[in-house]
Each structure stands twice: as structure tokens, then as C-alpha cells.
Amino acid sequence: MLEQAMFKSIKNYFERLGYDIKAEVLNTDIVALKDELTIIIEMKKTLNTTLMYQGIKRQQLTDYVYLAILKPTLKQLRSRQFKEKLALIKRLELGLIFVKLEDDSLEILIDPLPYQLRKNKKKQKQLLKEFKSRKTALNIAGVNKTKIITAYKEQAIMIAYSLKDGKLPLKEIKKITNSYKTSSILQKNYYHWFDRVERGVYQLNNHGLKALTEYSSVIDELIKE
């Protein structure tokens, strides 16, 4: 019954724009025709992969394919999952229509336009910088709830390793780690591994001593060089 009500709202909207509307034409939900322009609309109550696939198939018939769904709640619209679906729709060059049955209205959220992917140069630079900065390759792709070894963590681990035998002045730590971020890592103390015992002098605390054991395999890789 809901899809029948959706069809009525869609039909009324496009007829007001001068389109001739017919339903269930060769397995398509709705065809809207005006002059030489053909629009196909596929309907579902919610946005899912089945509907997206139907939309892709209809692109064999026309470039103007819309997916029509009931307007989601504000919470759904703000969800990460829905935003990901919107990104897919744009990438697939499909359109998206929200149907609001309460007032028999439509909201065209996305038009089926050619999509041009814009590269994020800042993130590209960050990706390459992180890749080149890492000395180890111990992370396993696809593993959840596992601590990731980043270039930053590698440097923090090396600082911890330099302090394994006791406190040292910053100058000596820098010599061992050979990292320009040594001062910043010690001052920010993101992992809470270090204590400053006096000006410019640091030592490991209990968390840091535990880290030496926890990341022993990383240390082995780092000190190979």
C-alpha cells in the first residue's frame, strides 16, 4: 500500500511538470516521458542495494534514472550509513527522490548528473607521508579491535626504548631516536608513557615499562636497521 501511495505522489508531481506518466512498463516501476526526455523511477520504502542495482540496470535504457524512497527520519539522514549510501548514489550517477506522503510532496535530493571524482590532495599527501614514515609492516588488514602501529607510535616506542635503562636528557634521547618529533612526543605524552623528572630530562613510568613488553616485536623490527 505504501508504494501505491508513493506512486500517486510521484505521478502527481511529474504530471504537474508536463510529463506523461505510466507505471510497470517492461519491469520498470515508473516511466515519465516529456518530448524526447525519458525518466525512469524505481521505488522502494527505504534505500538499499537492491534498489541501487535496479537503478543501474535502468541506466541501460536512459541516463535519467531516479530512485524514490520515503523520506527518512532526521536521525537516519544524519547517520554515517545513510551518508555512505548517498555517496554511492552520486558515484553511480543516479538520482534520489524523497516522497513525503503526509503532504503528498516530493523532494529531489540528487539529480542523475555525470560524476567527477575530486582527489583530496591533502589526504593524498598525508597517506604518502604516513606510508613513507613507517619503518615496520606489522599491521594486518581487516583485523578489528587490534592496536594499529602508526609512524607516530613507532617513534613513541623508540623513545620508550631509549629510556629502558633509566632517565635521559632530551638531547640524548634525540640522538638515539633520530626523530625530529621527539620533543613534541615527550611534551604531549599522548600514550602517558613518560614522566619529566626535571627540566629537559625524562624517564619511563609504569605504563611505559609495560609498553616495552607489549611492543617488543615492534622494537625488534625498529632496531634491526
Cell representation of residue 107: 523532494
Residues 6+ apart with CB under 8 A from 178: none
CATH number corresponding to 2-110? 3.40.1350.60
Which pLDDT score is estimated for 34? Answer: 93
Ranges of each domain in the chain: 2-110, 121-222
C-alpha to C-alpha distances, 198 to 136, 167, 169, 174, nearest whole angstrom: 33, 10, 9, 17
Predicted local confidence at residue 138, as pLDDT? 67
Q: How far apart are CA 174 and CA 181, in angstroms?
A: 9
**pLDDT of res. 14:** 93
**CATH number assigned to the domain with residue range 121-222, chosen from the 4 options 3.40.50.360, 1.10.10.10, 1.10.540.10, 3.40.1280.10:** 1.10.10.10
DSSP E strand boundaries for the chain: 20-25, 28-34, 37-43, 64-70, 95-100, 105-110, 168-169, 194-198, 201-204
Q: Distance from CA of residue 40 to its chain's centroid?
A: 30
| pLDDT, one tens digit for every residue, the chain (225 residues) | 788 889 999 999 999 999 999 999 988 999 999 998 999 999 999 999 999 999 999 999 999 999 999 999 999 999 999 999 999 999 999 999 999 988 888 999 999 988 777 777 888 888 888 787 888 776 766 666 667 888 899 999 999 999 999 999 999 999 888 888 899 999 999 999 999 999 999 999 999 999 999 999 889 888 875
Cross-strand partners of 67: 42, 96
Indicate whether this model's pTM tops 0.95: no
CB 130 within 8 A of CB 150: yes
Beta carbons of 66 and 40 less than 8 angstroms apart: yes
- Backbone φ and ψ for 105, nearest 5 degrees, come out as -130, 165
**151-162 and 170-177 helices, crossing angle to 10°:** 120
